[in-house]
Amino acid sequence: MKAAGRRTGASTSSQCNRAKSSPVSGILECQGRIAIVKFCALASGSSGNTALLATDSTRILIDAGISMLQLRKRLAAIGEDLAYIDAILITHEHSDHVAGLPVLGRNRDVRATFWLTRLCEPTIAWGERRPSRIQTFQAGASFTIGDIEVQSFSIPHDSIDPVGFCFSAQGVRVGIATDLGYIPESVKFHLRRMDLLLLEANHDLDMLKVGPYPWSVKQRVMSRVGHLSNMHVFDYIMEDLDGCTANVLLGHLSEQNNHPAIAQMIADEALQKRGLGTRLSIATQNAPSEVFHY
């Protein structure tokens, strides 16, 4: 199968030839070999966020912001099953990231361990029975789940202890950075050498300014602990995106204050100016994104 994510960027690092991706859902062969890492944003946006990262032996979800019914449906749509999820990692306690968590915690079919930061975990309304399979970690800690190495890192956002994640499995690296008001140097450091980067493109500044939100909410979204705009993405691609990154998946788009075509156009312009071959995709609220295989 022909690889979709060619790397023609400025970097000449040997990492650039580490993996090729295919967007074809449900097919695990890539470049004549079996793909070993799979990623899909099952839902992305202000109404719910969940993503899947899977290897042959380990399956994890990042965030649980949709209902269990939706989660089951979307996993099934990409050939996965909630019963085989090993871990659910939480970025922060906002409802669009944890709304499904209490139900998942109560369900006997779910055998996943829940991973949250020490400060985030007490904020979760688990209900009468707090699940026993909870693992807490310090923001910034690294740990291993099955054959997936996890590196957490703090992000600037108006919640208790928000984190992003970098994952490394079988030499494939996936980064997730959504829900942050700007991209500090520390986050840029963690997002280097990714094969796939899920990056927030929450709003278009002009749309936000004339949009329906109350001024106080607009100020919050635009603040240093709010959300990334299309222009943040433009600047990041122009100045910081590693040329080795095969795929950038823009996510957490506001349905009120952004439009996929605008986010794509602005990011595409930056990629063209850089002369990068990084392939761009958009994650949506109501359906799984394309499935990336490496």
Contact 141, 190 (CB under 8 A): no
Task: Determine the residue with CB nearest Zn ion.
Answer: 94
User: Other C-beta atoms within 10 Å of 78: how many?
Assistant: 17
Q: Which is nearer to Zn ion, 94 or 173 (CB)?
A: 94
197 DSSP 8-state letter: E
Distance CA 186, CA 216 (A): 28
SS (H, E, C) 206-227: HHHHHCCCCHHHHHHHHCCCCC
Q: Which is nearer to Zn ion, 169 or 282 (CB)?
A: 282
Alpha helices, DSSP H only, in the chain?
Answer: 68-77, 95-98, 101-106, 185-190, 205-210, 215-222, 230-239, 260-274
Q: Which is nearer to Zn ion, 7 or 94 (CB)?
A: 94
> Residues 20, 94, 173, 218: which binds Zn ion (CB under 5 A)?
94
> Residues 63, 93, 96, 200: which binds Zn ion (CB under 5 A)?
96
Q: Which is nearer to Zn ion, 179 or 195 (CB)?
A: 179
* 184 contacts: CB under 8 Å, gap ≥ 6: 155, 156
Instruction: Give the nearest distance from C-beta 211 to Zn ion in angstroms.
Output: 17
- The encoded tokens of residue 134 equal 């909870």
Q: Which is nearer to Zn ion, 5 or 164 (CB)?
A: 164
Instruction: Give the nearest distance from C-beta 121 to Zn ion in angstroms.
Output: 16
* 17 contacts: CB under 8 Å, gap ≥ 6: 7
Which residues ranging from 260 to 289 are in contact with Zn ion (CB under 5 A)?
A: none
Instruction: Give the nearest distance from C-beta 221 to Zn ion in angstroms.
Output: 10
Q: Determine the distance from the C-alpha atom of residue 265 to the mean position of all C-alpha atoms in its chain, rounded to a whole number.
A: 20
Q: Quick one: which segment of 17-25, 94-102, 167-175, 265-273 binds Zn ion (CB under 5 A)?
A: 94-102
Taking residues 66 to 85 in sequence order and writing x for each that binds Zn ion by CB under 5 A, - otherwise, the string is --------------------
* Triad 16, 260, 233: Cα angle to 5°: 50
Instruction: Give the nearest distance from C-beta 97 to Zn ion in angstroms.
Output: 6
Q: Quick one: which segment of 29-37, 88-96, 126-134, 217-225 binds Zn ion (CB under 5 A)?
A: 88-96
Q: How far is CA 246 from CA 124, 168, 249, in A?
A: 35, 15, 10
Taking residues 168 to 207 in sequence order and writing x for each that binds Zn ion by CB under 5 A, - otherwise, the string is -----------x----------------------------
Instruction: Give the nearest distance from C-beta 89 to Zn ion in angstroms.
Output: 14
- Per DSSP, the three-state class of 106 is helix
221 forms beta bridges with none
Interface with Zn ion, residue 63, by CB under 5 A: no
Instruction: Give the nearest distance from C-beta 167 to Zn ion in angstroms.
Output: 19
Instruction: Give the nearest distance from C-beta 180 to Zn ion in angstroms.
Output: 9
Binding site for Zn ion (CB under 5 A): 94, 96, 179
